Amino acid sequence: MQVSRRLTNITGGGSGGWDLFNRAREMKLSGIPVTELTIGEHDTPTDPSILDAMHRAALDGHTGYTTIGGLAELRQRIAQRVQQRTGVPTAPANVLIVPGGQAGLFGALMATCEPGDTALFIDPYYATYPGTIRAAGAVPKPVKARSRAGFQPDAADIDAAAEGAAALLINSPNNPTGAVYSQQTLTDIAEVCMRRDMWLISDEVYDTQVWTGAHLSPRALPGMAARTLVVGSMSKSHAMTGSRIGWMIGPEDAIAQAVNLTTHTTYGVSGFTQMAACHALDRGVPFETQIAAPFLRRRDAVLAQIAQQNVVRAIPAQGAMYIMLDLRATGLSGEAFGNLLLDTHHVAVMPGESFGNAAAGHVRVALTVDDARLKVAIAQLLDLAASEAAKRAS
């Protein structure tokens, strides 16, 4: 029996650039000590106080079906947090609790695209974007951002691709590039969305990890609250990746309709997880700063190492838990360099090509191992890049 084309088409046929990642995992399983700078996951587990809250909530009876759109306590807290951070009036009815940012992305695409509609997204992109757009029945269309522009998208490029598009999906702070979109970039994007009558889906799961400048949610720009769906998550901000809890923020009627999607897909998020999220949010900004601190510290250390040579160029890592490195001076693709680095030094990074054409000749380094190990791995990467560039010059 064949499964539906809806499923077989999700990946678009490719490996999504995960070959190197899988090879690194196999090496590790065979006993080789690989330094994995690949996926965006903290090197520390969820804080014990959050796990205690989860345990207590379960013992207190939060083990049954929950209100589908999310517990009132959590929707209230998220609404308050978003309003405080953005200044946009936000009520619990603007908030839908979902099992992780990924579910929020799917919900937002389902909410904004008819089957066959085009959804624009910015290349380089978070690896699931094209597949999520396809899973929602829409057609993904990338718009390139340029390395030399620090991977800030150009609104003129978006405009040129926008004919007939129903939605634009953006992500700031950005995975994989670390770019934090400037006020100008976002204002220009908002203007295109309004002129082209497009929805904006704003993936803000890294909003607590901003090192340079400030996070601006485009929902706060004039006229945008009515056409923006914001996707957020506890995964990155509170080191709760495995708890699978996130949200979608939008106009009240869109959220009310999206509750129907939840009823017919996930049927909500476990109550004990939502109560644990309430506890985590109540720990406030100091806790979020504590979770983000290692990535800022490591980003600064890596930039200092990179400043001592001139083969590898770092894209200004303004936020998120990654640094994108431009290796084009070596003459190698990101994939070829990544494979060589894995073979010679047992250091695994993600090839830029895994995130789209615009990141060819780059690699993404996740800042997710301890400082000392990261320092060694970056030194090895820089040595390899220097020797490959020298080979090319000779």
Beta strands 246-249 and 95-98 are: antiparallel
Neighbours of 96 (CB within 10 A): 30
Beta strands 199-203 and 228-233 are: parallel
Touching ligand PLP, residues 116-155 (CB under 6 A): 126
Cα–Cα nearest to 180, from 204, 144, 157, 159: 204
Beta strands 347-351 and 362-366 are: antiparallel
Asked if 356 and 20 touch (Cβ cutoff 8 Å), the reply is no
- Is 39 or 285 the residue whose CB approaches ligand PLP more closely? 39
Residue 202 interacting with ligand PLP (CB under 6 A): no
Instruction: Return the residue of 86, 175, 273, 333 that touches ligand PLP, per CB under 6 A.
Output: 175
Of 100-108, 158-166, 188-196, 330-338, the segment contacting ligand PLP by CB under 6 A is: 100-108
Instruction: Return the residue of 172, 235, 262, 333 that touches ligand PLP, per CB under 6 A.
Output: 235
Instruction: Return the residue of 17, 37, 40, 79 that touches ligand PLP, per CB under 6 A.
Output: 40
Residue 334 interacting with ligand PLP (CB under 6 A): no
* Phi, psi for residue 233 in degrees, rounded to 5: -165, 155
CA distance 187 to 221: 7
Q: What is the DSSP track for 100-141? A: SHHHHHHHHHHHH--TT-EEEEEES--TTHHHHHHHTT-EEE
Cα–Cα nearest to 288, from 241, 234, 249, 246: 234
* Phi, psi for residue 238 in degrees, rounded to 5: -125, 15
- Is 255 or 321 the residue whose CB approaches ligand PLP more closely? 321
Instruction: Return the residue of 86, 118, 172, 241 that touches ligand PLP, per CB under 6 A.
Output: 241
Instruction: Return the residue of 17, 69, 101, 130 that touches ligand PLP, per CB under 6 A.
Output: 101
Instruction: Return the residue of 38, 86, 94, 102 that touches ligand PLP, per CB under 6 A.
Output: 102
Min dist CB 125 to ligand PLP, Å, is 8
Instruction: Return the residue of 47, 117, 123, 203 that touches ligand PLP, per CB under 6 A.
Output: 203
Instruction: Return the residue of 70, 100, 319, 361 that touches ligand PLP, per CB under 6 A.
Output: 100
Min dist CB 38 to ligand PLP, Å, is 11
Min dist CB 382 to ligand PLP, Å, is 26
- Is 175 or 330 the residue whose CB approaches ligand PLP more closely? 175
Asked if 300 and 373 touch (Cβ cutoff 8 Å), the reply is no
Min dist CB 174 to ligand PLP, Å, is 7
CA distance 193 to 190: 5
Cα distances from 378 to residues 25, 201, 264, 292, 372, in angstroms, run: 19, 34, 46, 20, 10
Residue 309, token pair as written in the block: 């040579």
Rounded (10°) angle between helices 48-59 and 271-282: 140
Min dist CB 331 to ligand PLP, Å, is 29
Touching ligand PLP, residues 243-272 (CB under 6 A): 246
- Is 205 or 382 the residue whose CB approaches ligand PLP more closely? 205
Q: Closest residue to ligand PLP, Cβ-based?
A: 101
Min dist CB 108 to ligand PLP, Å, is 11
- Is 207 or 388 the residue whose CB approaches ligand PLP more closely? 207
Q: Which residues bind ligand PLP (CB under 6 A)?
A: 40, 100-102, 126, 171, 175, 203, 205, 233, 235, 241, 246
